[in-house]
A and B are shown apart, each in its own frame.
Chain A
Amino acid sequence: MAFEIVGKRAVRKDAAAKVTGRAKYADDFFERDMLVGKVLRSPYAHAIVKSIDTGKAKALPGVEAVITHEDLPKLKYATAGHPWSLDPGHRDVADRYILTDKARYVGDGVAAVVAVDALTAEKALKLIEVEYEVLPFVLDPEKAMLPGAPVIHEERPDNILGATSEEIGNIEEDFKKADYIFEGVYETSIVQHCHLEIQSAYAYVDADGRIVIVSSTQIPHIARRIVGQALGVPWGQIRVIKPYIGGGFGNKQDVVVEPLAAAMSLAVNGRPVRFALTREECFVDTRTRHAMKLYLKTAVTKEGKLLSLHMKPICNNGAYASHGHTVALSAGGKFRLLYDFNSMKYEPKTVYTNLPSAGAMRAYGCPQIFYALESHIEDIAREMKIDPIEFRKQNLISVGKKDPHSDIVVRTFGLRECIEKGKQLIKWDEKLEKYKEQKGIKRRGLGMACFSYASGTYPHGFEIAGARVVMNQDGSVQLQVGATEIGQGSDTVLSQIAAEVLGLPYDMVHVVSQQDTDITPFDLGAYASRQTFVSGAAVKKAAEEAKRKVLEIAAWKTGLSIEEMDIKSARIVERKSGSEICTLEDIAMESYYDRLNAAPIEGNASANVRTNAMAYGVTFAEVEVDMETGRIEIIEIYNVHDSGVIINPLLAEGQVHGGVSMGLGYALSEQLLFDTNTGRPLNNNFLDYKLQTIMDTPDVGYAFVQIPDPEGSVGQKSLGENTTISTAPAVRNAVLNATGIAFNKIPMTPQTVFEKLKQNGLL
Chain B
Amino acid sequence: MYDIVGIESPDTLEAAIEMLSNNPNLKIIAGGTDVLVQMRNGALEEIALLSLRNIPGMADIRIMDNGTISIGAMATFAEIFRSSIINEHLPVLSEAAVSVGGPQIRNMATIGGNICNGAVSADSATTLFAYNAELKLLSREGERTVPIEEFYAGPGKVNLQPAEILTAILIPETGYRKTSGCYIKHSTRKAMDIAMLGVSVVCKTAGGKFTDVRIALGVAAPVPIRCREAEAYAIGKETSSEIIREIGRYAVRASRARDSWRASKAYREHLIEVLVFRALKEAVIRDGGEDIG
Contact = CB atoms under 8 A, between A and B. Distances in A.
A693 interface: yes
Contact of A751 (B2, B102, B264): B264
Contacts of B188: 669, 690, 749-750
A30 B188 CA distance: 39
Contacts, number: 51
A620 B207 CA distance: 49
A693 B190 contact: yes
Interface in A629-661: 629-630
A119 interface: yes
Nearest to A675: B261
A682 B264 contact: no
A353 to B, nearest CB: 19
* Most chain A CB within a 10 A radius of its CB, from B42, B189, B261: B189
B261 A682 contact: yes
Contact of B189 (A630, A683, A690, A754): A690
Interface string B148-188: 00000000000000000000000000000000000000101
Contacts of B1: 117-119, 122
A581 to B, nearest CB: 58
B3 A693 contact: no
Interface stretch (B48-56, B69-77, B218-226, B267-275): B267-275
Q: What does DSSP make chain A's interface, helix, strand, loop or mixed?
A: loop
Nearest to A117: B1
Nearest to B275: A629
A518 interface: no
- Range of interface residues on chain B? 20 to 34
B191 A754 contact: no
B193 interface: yes
Given A754-B270, A755-B267, A686 B192 contact: yes
Interface in A679-729: 682-683, 686-688, 690, 692-696
Contacts of A122: 1, 42
Contacts of A687: 192-194
B129 to A, nearest CB: 22
Contacts of B194: 687
Most buried by A among B3, B188, B264, B275: B188
A34 interface: no
A553 B186 CA distance: 71
B189 A669 contact: yes
Given A119-B1, A122-B1, A673-B261, A754 B192 contact: no
Nearest to B101: A687
A48 to B, nearest CB: 26
Contacts of A696: 189-191
A695 B264 CA distance: 25
Nearest to A126: B42
Contacts of A755: 267
Contacts of B263: 751
Interface in A458-507: none
Interface in B214-267: 261-264, 267
Contacts of A31: none
A62 to B, nearest CB: 13
A629 B274 contact: yes
Contact of A628 (B189, B261, B274): B274
A601 B28 CA distance: 66
B101 to A, nearest CB: 10
Chain A interface size range: 20 to 34
Contact of B193 (A117, A628, A690): A690
A435 to B, nearest CB: 20
A751 B262 CA distance: 9
A690 B186 CA distance: 14
Contacts of B102: 693
A751 B193 CA distance: 16
A125 to B, nearest CB: 10
A53 to B, nearest CB: 21
B274 A692 contact: no
Nearest to B2: A119
A693 B261 contact: no
B186 to A, nearest CB: 7
B45 to A, nearest CB: 9
Contacts of B191: 693-696
A675 B262 CA distance: 12
Given A119-B3, A628-B274, A629-B274, A693 B192 contact: yes
Which residue among B2, B193, B264 has the maximum number of chain A CB atoms within 10 Å of its CB?
Answer: B193
Contacts of A628: 274
Contacts of B3: 119
A696 to B, nearest CB: 5
Interface in B268-290: 270-271, 274-275
Given A751-B263, A751-B267, A695 B274 contact: no
Nearest to B191: A695
A763 to B, nearest CB: 8
Interface in B5-35: none
A695 B186 contact: no
Interface in A301-345: none
Interface in B192-210: 192-194
Contact of B186 (A117, A119, A629): A629
Contacts of A686: 192
Given A119-B3, A629-B274, A673-B261, A695 B190 contact: yes
A284 B3 CA distance: 24
A749 B270 CA distance: 15
Given A673-B261, A751-B263, A751-B264, A695 B270 contact: no
Contacts of A675: 261
Contacts of A629: 186, 271, 274-275
22 contacts: A119-B2, A119-B3, A629-B271, A669-B189, A673-B261, A682-B261, A683-B261, A690-B188, A690-B189, A693-B102, A693-B190, A693-B192, A695-B190, A695-B191, A696-B189, A696-B190, A749-B188, A750-B186, A750-B267, A751-B267, A754-B267, A754-B270
Given A629-B186, A750-B188, A763-B270, 11 more contacts: A629-B274, A675-B261, A682-B261, A683-B261, A690-B188, A690-B189, A693-B102, A693-B192, A750-B267, A751-B263, A755-B267
Interface of B: 1-3, 42, 102, 186, 188-194, 261-264, 267, 270-271, 274-275
**9 A-B pairs closest in CB distance:** A695-B190, A695-B191, A690-B188, A118-B1, A628-B274, A693-B191, A751-B267, A693-B192, A696-B190
